[in-house]
Amino acid sequence: MMEGKEYVELINDEGQIEKLEILAVFHLDTQEYAVLRYPDSDEGMIYRVERDDNQKPLFVMIEDDKELEEVIEIYEAMADEII
């Protein structure tokens, strides 16, 4: 694995720990989002980042289609600016 990449471990629906690479973290208004992907995948998944009482990040799947579409548009625009 290349150095400099950041990873997070999440527990999947089967209770297994999965290691995902953090591709990007960004804000839309006051809400934080993260783009994560499996190390062997080319596709990212966007999660809403919430914080527990100790400010530890909690990665939450976005279930609202409108919110997800808006966040995808913002992320794609950011990615286009970088490329």
Would you say residue 1 lies in a domain?
no
Q: For 66, phi and psi rounded to 5 degrees?
A: -65, -45
Q: Are strands 17-28 and 6-11 parallel, antiparallel or unpaired?
A: antiparallel
Would you say residue 49 lies in a domain?
yes
Would you say residue 13 lies in a domain?
yes
Distance of CA 7 to the CA centre of its chain: 11
Q: For 41, phi and psi rounded to 5 degrees?
A: -120, 155
Question: How many structural domains compose the chain?
Answer: 1
Would you say residue 64 lies in a domain?
yes
Where in the sequence is the domain holding 25, given as residue range(s)? Answer: 6-82
- Report the predicted TM-score, pTM, of the whole model to 2 decimal places: 0.84
Would you say residue 27 lies in a domain?
yes
Would you say residue 36 lies in a domain?
yes
Nearest-5° Cα angle at 8, 60 to 53: 55
- Residues 20-62 pLDDT 10s: 999 999 999 999 999 999 989 999 999 999 999 999 999 999 9
- Residues 2-13 pLDDT 10s: 457 899 999 988
